[in-house]
Copies of this chain bind each other. A is one copy, B any other.
Amino acid sequence: MALSLTILGCHSATPRTFAYPTSQFLSINNEHFLIDCGEGTQVQLRKHKVKFSKISRIFISHLHGDHYFGLIGLISTFSLYQRQTELHIYGPKGLKEITKLQLKLGKSFLSYEIIFHELTSKKSEVIFENNKVSVATIPLKHRVYTNGFIFKEKIGERKLNISAISQINDIKNCDYQNLKNGKDFTKDNGDIIKNTALTFKTKPPKSYAFCSDTCYKPNIVPIIKEVNLLYHESTFLEDKSDLAKKTLHSTAKEAAKIANDAQVEKLILGHFSSRYTDETLFLKEAITVFEKTILAKEGLCIEL
């Protein structure tokens, strides 16, 4: 699976019996990330059968409680289970200070190392990259410093066309990596064979953008242009657009406008305010602007 996203929680403000604050588990090109970590996330991870040891990096959008109050508990539990591999945490400046203080006061010594990557930039920046994926920030506008995150698969190696290759005697095993990397092949007699004649192209890389919390911010559109999947907060409906403006949140319609302008493949709405008992209203409002919209719900798993 190129990309798999599991919604662990998608409600705003405060955990309730059947409404969990923001947290998502993302697997992309075999890298595994946790995005935000509201109170109760570790229980949600268990409930939805996500192995704790899979999580290598945690991305925290901002320091409102419904997005990170579950982090210190998860960090502690990792240690209880004798985690050895280092954990990378990306989030606003201050997260390290809080975490260190809590560990100090509890006289807790972790079994593993945490590497904090504290974010302060107001411009989009690549904050993690390896040969499989890249992760960049999406600067958002909320009541505190906030980033969304865009996760992109790297373009994979091309696949060898063994049948075509077997007809060219000059090609040796040691040439395979160059072919996978897209290079043309030069025969001993100087003839050049185009790479496309010897390899197949791979599937186009997948991408996922997470945008929560934020007011309507059209200047994120170029950053998230044509992503396969966009999660955008929609705390309110248009009936509360004044409140959305005041609290720097978005309405379902505004989220849909962003999705439409960015020409994304699919939009997921979330971060619903508890004042709405009928969440289908969010969907109804959004699809008037952008049809390929779905609603986040606890346990929803989207695979691309």
Contacts and interface: CB of A to CB of B under 8 A. Distances in A.
- Chain A, interface size category, equals 20 to 34
Contact of A102 (B39, B80, B98): B98
A17 B47 contact: yes
Interface of A: 13-17, 39-40, 42-43, 46-47, 63-65, 69-70, 72-73, 76-77, 80, 92, 94-95, 97-98, 101-102, 105-108, 143-144
A106 B40 contact: no
A15 B72 CA distance: 12
A4 to B, nearest CB: 22
A106 B70 contact: no
Contact of A69 (B13, B14, B63, B72): B72
Contact of A14 (B40, B80, B105, B107): B80
Contacts of A95: 105
Given A63-B102, A98-B105, 4 more contacts: A40-B43, A63-B105, A65-B76, A106-B144
Nearest to A40: B40
A131 to B, nearest CB: 34
